[in-house]
Amino acid sequence: MIRIGYDVTALAHSAYGGIAQVCFHTLKQAQRHPEVAGQGYYRSEQPPESLARELSLMKSLFTDRWWGESFDIVHGLCHRLPRMRGRRSVYTLHDVWSLYPNRYQSPSFQKKIGARMRRELTRVDFVVTDSETTRTNLLELDLAPPEKVAVAHLGVEIPPENDDPPVPPALAGLVATRYVLFVGRLEYRKNLGHVVEAVASLPRVNLVLVGQPGFGYEEHVKNCLGKIDRTRLHLFDQVNDHELSALYRYAIATLLPSWEEGFGLPILEAMSHGSPVITSNCSASAEVAAEAAVLVPPDDPATSRAAVERLLDDPPFRDMLIHAGRARAATFTWERYFEQLVEIYGSLL
């Protein structure tokens, strides 16, 4: 039995967001796996009671690094190493843009997080990346040797293909319309200007955005949102799983043209729910979507607009994308992701 201590602090902050989802599913798989005993730790804020009941979570104390429980592996899932004792350490790197000056974070935040990440990368025994794209980017920065870095693709929960639950009453009017869906943080990196421009000139199509404001919202995103008729724009800062599932199922397409992605979980979520996906032809977006989506240049919203028009007017094309997307999503499971981790743990021990 491999005893593992996980830092899942992002999950205590919010159950939403990519890193929080990775924390949740990693710990959930660890507590199911016959060869692993996993314990989750968080640094601050009390996690929601529902999560505390479902997962084994404890508050991490500063003294744990000297006198706390000792593990075979300590695994940092939140861009920092856990302050726990362990024979070996593993660090999951979700993306690399904090490691160099970028447009996606404030200079002060980038400097602070980047310095911490570089420090952790020198201390850790092994680095796991979510995608081959992130692994390649890390090796190009020469911050870890190739033999110390491996990919463990993330997963998605696949709903039954013939499952058609009732539409939540609050969304009944919306899902009866034609709309394009965006899911993710409303920030500069997600390229919301592309999304708005692609949809604004299609008068028969609404735009639905699900996400909370992030970096660049006030300076960039707000101005972009003002370029579409407010009667056609629907904003949700947070929805439950049932509501998100319905939004995916009834969308003309899910449009995700990020400038950069370390993985792109909403791509797989959309595909698994039968939503055609239009996404960037670069970074990890293209790696995850492969040929099961329409790949577009992030600086060319006209290409996305043409793809939406085709999905409206060409049912066979739409059906083909739905079928390809479901098949693609089915190759990414949380069980397979965790088996890759267990293999890494075993090699370290």
- Extract the tokens encoding 141: 């920065």
Of 149, 135, 102, nearest to 263 (Cα)? 135
Fold agreement between 2-155+333-348 and 169-329: yes
| CA gyration radius, the chain | 20
Domain 169-329, CATH among 1.20.1290.10, 3.40.50.2000, 3.30.450.370, 3.40.50.300: 3.40.50.2000
- Extract the tokens encoding 235: 């904003």
- Tens of pLDDT, residue by residue over 200-245, are 999 889 999 999 998 988 988 989 999 999 999 999 998 998 999 9
- Extract the tokens encoding 60: 């991490």
- Domain segments of the chain as ranges: 2-155+333-348, 169-329
Residue 60 predicted with pLDDT over 80: no
Q: Which DSSP symbol is given to 220?
A: I
pLDDT at 59 (0 to 100):
78
pTM above 0.75, yes or no: yes
C-alpha dist (Å) from residue 332 to 92, 123, 131, 272: 18, 30, 12, 10
- Tens of pLDDT, residue by residue over 252-261, are 999 999 999 9
Based on the number of CB atoms within 10 Å of its own CB, is 80 exposed (0-12), middle (13-18) or buried (19 or more)? middle
More confident residue, 59 or 10: 10
Q: What is the average pLDDT across 40-53?
A: 72
326: how many CB neighbours lie within 10 A of its CB?
A: 18
Q: What is the average pLDDT across 302-319?
A: 97
Angle at 196 between CA 190 and CA 199, to 5 degrees: 125
Report the Cα 10 to chain-centroid distance in Å.
13
Burial 127-163 (b: 16+ CB within 10 A, else e): bbbbbebbbebbbeeebbeeeebbebbbbbeebeeee
What's the whole-number average pLDDT of the chain? 92
Q: What is the average pLDDT across 63-79?
A: 84
- Tens of pLDDT, residue by residue over 128-183, are 999 999 999 999 999 999 999 999 999 999 887 767 778 889 899 999 999 999 99
pLDDT at 158 (0 to 100):
87
C-alpha dist (Å) from residue 4 to 18, 92, 126: 21, 14, 14
* Backbone phi, psi, residue 50, to 5°: -60, -40
Kindly indicate whether the domain formed by 2-155+333-348 is annotated with CATH number 3.50.50.60: no
